[in-house]
Chain A
């Protein structure tokens, strides 16, 4: 399995607070890695470090061989990122926003549209593409952010709570879409607090708690690590792990 993303001793300190205390992980091609953890565990900090929006206080990370801090532009060219709270130019429509992003990434518009056309249909988004983004609901923004993240066919996807604010059918469509992308060889790092989703989709999970990885491996590994029954839900395992004084 080709390694797409590599983090070594990645740490970030804000003042006296250790948001992320030196974590190591890898993301391989075709993998769907779930980044789980309670609020404030360091999930978004991890994603922002990978995106070069924060400078690590220790360690480093690289995507496809490019250092996330030193070569953040090269990294951004190669990854798709969907933030938890997307925001766009409010005077552009969804369609114009996608055109704009393609132009910025140096991707031909026709290619970008060909890539996302099926997804637009799957997400039932074609009508909303003509609406100004200032009039988007949170769910619509999440859909557009996801389309933007996928439009340049990135090999690595960083997704922060991708199904937040989506209705159940759309959320289901998104999950299918991500599984399909992983099957095509993309590496997906999925930050979420929805354990049911991680349970169903992820090939591996990683539980962050107070800035350190407290459990990792396949869902079965995590269950074993937590010492819960194999048929127990991931939620049970998660609760047990984050409540134990590690």
Chain B
């Protein structure tokens, strides 16, 4: 019995952990749990951020009274409902024939699933812990406090899982089938609400009227109970008791024979889709079904409620810039919802692949339909954004709001395109953390989130446009790649099915993600951003990742040749690099001397020169960066683009490569980087070797840093 259950636990864990990013047309196949590891890394990235947020919130005067509570309720609800969402589909799956799992044959009890859920929620526990740690200064920096918090969170999440499981068992035992089928939906709604509560807990600082509610006493007691004196063994014991009780309920249901495998499947005609079918065109049929409308509706209601909260808060306090806060939340929420919706639509097709692959339609032919369905779903959110934008007029002025609004809508429009295309290509795409572990973040997500967030948080329209252009380029390439490669094929070993440019873009996103991750880690251990060591280590590690990933690709690339066929190119490289460096410094001086750019447009990076670790910076900037970046941008990206063009147009690859190269230098003046990209690209094209470009790059970086001081 114990052996069986242990085996079931292993199966449940590994079925979820080995889910590999695949394209839509692929048949299911097991793989190394790369996605899981990447997800974990990506989620850990958020921990320091949330810790910092928590700390900042806790320093607001009025916060202690209401903010803690709302934040905590958010965390609890998020954990509990994420457990529920994870569990309920698992329970559902138990009676579906799973071809690739042992689960069908095993008499699985819910407990292994519960434990697996608990273990899988590790990233969320860590994130919640970091947030709570930041919220409670009295717990900070005390070993006892931190260990209390760790135990508290582990127990809390276990009891949340247990409660979720008990709830599922009870529901299965007591409720009729049609109510049962709503379970997943309810838990997702709960999670969404938890997330909103969490993100709007900042507002609570000024919501003094909330203290008058009749539940106030209970809330006070709960808050005291949860965050109170950390030596209180009693609170831990109480949570343990809750978990035990929940486990007891589950066991009782089990013993009573409410067996999940035998339970009658809900049988009911599907009224929802009737009628819709009559007017459906091919695209709409594949794109716009089921949960979307309900989701959008609930979201609309919830956000409306949040808006009312916000207005009240505005009246009562000016401590927090509420419109800005709400705008940030809407940007974040819309990006995640877009990616989540896109991923759900594509996953649904994957489930029905046995049917779709026999019909005369290839997956990519449904792409346009899915994108327009997704856009329709986001209409309520877009309307809400309009209200928030209106609220921001007094602060930013009409023109400021106008360009920001345009950027938001255009970027959301592009994100829909890119989100669906990338879902087609990766299938693993989901929204980070917000919708529970079933979403899961991926590097492909970073690829979209980075330019999307950069575009929406830009302080000036110029850099916003650059980020928008990046987003457009990514969405275009993803679409092209999806149309070219995604077919109903059962052979995932078919290498021709991925475009070289697309793989290059994914590697680029890994480069960014590593940069962000390392920077966060360093900030966490106390290195300041102006410290040269931070810059050097952050950049160095990500550049090494870039170089290694490029090197790994060598079998598919034409030989990465270092030495040029024309030695003159080496001299030209050095000269070109010096030229762009001088140009860069001159341009910067010209702009500052004559005030050519409005306030906030000038890049900040050029102002701060590192005071410590200058040598490390020098090594990173003059040696590591040129080698890694030239290998990637010229050796891989430019070559890949050139391979896509006809021989007459092949030179254009230099231009496109240089545009991407300039585009990723966020916070720069872009122009010098563009010129450098053109020079290095042309030299590689002309001489056939990477060394001239590396010399140009090293010369540019070295001189610009030195002269810029």
Question: Does A76 contact B289, Cβ atoms closer than 8 Å?
Answer: no
Taking a contact as CB atoms closer than 8 A, the residue among B274, B355, B360, B493 that contacts A14 in the complex is B493
Question: Does A89 contact B355, Cβ atoms closer than 8 Å?
Answer: yes
A235 at the interface (CB under 8 A from B): no
Residue of B nearest to A88 (CB): B355
Taking a contact as CB atoms closer than 8 A, the residue among B359, B491, B494 that contacts A101 in the complex is B359
**In the complex, which residues 129-149 of chain A have their Cβ closer than 8 Å to any Cβ of chain B?**
130-132, 134-135, 138, 148-149
**Chain B residues near A131 (CB, 8 Å)?**
267, 269
Residue of B nearest to A138 (CB): B97
**Nearest CB of chain B from residue A235's CB, rounded to whole Å:** 28
Give Cα A148–Cα B489 distance, bound, in whole angstroms.
Answer: 20
B566 at the interface (CB under 8 A from A): no
Known contacts A54-B489, A89-B351, A135-B265: does B277 contact A76 (CB below 8 Å)? no
- Chain A residues engaging chain B, CB cutoff 8 angstroms: 14-15, 48, 51-55, 73-74, 76-77, 81, 83, 85-93, 96-97, 99-101, 103-106, 130-132, 134-135, 138, 148-149
Per-position 1/0 for B467-492, Cβ under 8 A of A:
00000000000000000000011110
**Chain B residues near A48 (CB, 8 Å)?**
490
Question: Does A93 contact B489, Cβ atoms closer than 8 Å?
Answer: no
**Nearest CB of chain A from residue B101's CB, rounded to whole Å:** 14
Known contacts A92-B273, A135-B265: does B360 contact A105 (CB below 8 Å)? yes
B266 at the interface (CB under 8 A from A): yes
**Nearest CB of chain A from residue B303's CB, rounded to whole Å:** 26
Question: Does B273 contact A85, Cβ atoms closer than 8 Å?
Answer: no
Per-position 1/0 for B287-310, Cβ under 8 A of A:
001100000000000000000000
B270 at the interface (CB under 8 A from A): yes
Question: Does A76 contact B359, Cβ atoms closer than 8 Å?
Answer: yes
**Chain B residues near A87 (CB, 8 Å)?**
351-355
Q: What are 7 A-B interface contacts by the 8 Å CB criterion?
A: A76-B359, A81-B358, A87-B353, A90-B352, A91-B348, A93-B269, A96-B277
B136 at the interface (CB under 8 A from A): no
**Nearest CB of chain A from residue B478's CB, rounded to whole Å:** 23
Give Cα A34–Cα B355 distance, bound, in whole angstroms.
Answer: 23
On chain B, the number of residues with a Cβ less than 8 Å from chain A's Cβ atoms is 35
Q: Nearest 10 pairs between A and B by C-beta?
A: A87-B354, A76-B360, A77-B360, A104-B359, A135-B265, A81-B358, A89-B352, A73-B360, A130-B269, A91-B290
**Nearest CB of chain B from residue A79's CB, rounded to whole Å:** 9
Known contacts A83-B358, A97-B355: does B282 contact A91 (CB below 8 Å)? no
**Nearest CB of chain B from residue A101's CB, rounded to whole Å:** 6
B256 at the interface (CB under 8 A from A): no
**Chain B residues near A15 (CB, 8 Å)?**
493
B251 at the interface (CB under 8 A from A): no
Give Cα A131–Cα B494 distance, bound, in whole angstroms.
Answer: 38
**Chain A residues near B406 (CB, 8 Å)?**
none
Question: Does B355 contact A105, Cβ atoms closer than 8 Å?
Answer: no
Give Cα A103–Cα B284 distance, bound, in whole angstroms.
Answer: 11
**Chain A residues near B362 (CB, 8 Å)?**
73
B372 at the interface (CB under 8 A from A): no
Give Cα A85–Cα B352 distance, bound, in whole angstroms.
Answer: 11
Question: Does B360 contact A101, Cβ atoms closer than 8 Å?
Answer: no
Known contacts A92-B273, A100-B277, A130-B269: does B358 contact A51 (CB below 8 Å)? yes
Give Cα A48–Cα B97 distance, bound, in whole angstroms.
Answer: 22
Give Cα A100–Cα B358 distance, bound, in whole angstroms.
Answer: 13
Known contacts A55-B491, A132-B270: does B289 contact A89 (CB below 8 Å)? yes
For B96, B359, B362, B494, the residue with the greatest tally of chain A CB atoms inside 10 Å of its CB is B359
**Nearest CB of chain B from residue A112's CB, rounded to whole Å:** 13
Known contacts A54-B490, A55-B494, A132-B270: does B358 contact A89 (CB below 8 Å)? no
Give Cα A81–Cα B265 distance, bound, in whole angstroms.
Answer: 28
**Nearest CB of chain B from residue A54's CB, rounded to whole Å:** 5
Known contacts A96-B277, A132-B270: does B348 contact A89 (CB below 8 Å)? yes
**Chain B residues near A73 (CB, 8 Å)?**
360-362
